[in-house]
Amino acid sequence: MNHDETRCPLCGGDNRCGQLIPSTNGEGCWCLRASIPAALLALVPPELTGKACICRSCVETALQKEQQE
């Protein structure tokens, strides 16, 4: 299965991956410095694990849900 690495493997939205955007000047992706809940990572289909970044929106939504629990 081919997956567009610019798309979030969870919602299909633009993941704005810094690894793929030349204008980040080698700073890398925002997600490299983010705390991504293990429960969210577990939702990524196995065939897409490590293929594309989860988008910031999905990460922020998961973090908000964690704080409410």
> Which residue bears the tokens 């633009």?
14
Question: Sign of the C-alpha dihedral, residues 4, 32, 54, 58?
Answer: negative
The model's pTM: 0.79
Specify the pLDDT at position 26.
57
Tell whether the torsion through CA atoms of 50, 46, 69 and 59 is positive or negative: positive
- Structural domain for 64, as ranges: 1-69
* Confidence (pLDDT) at 24: 54
**Number of domains composing the chain:** 1
pLDDT in tens, the chain (69 residues): 567 888 999 999 988 877 666 665 656 777 788 889 999 999 999 988 888 889 999 999 999 998 998
Of 4, 7, 3, nearest to 54 (Cα)?
Answer: 7
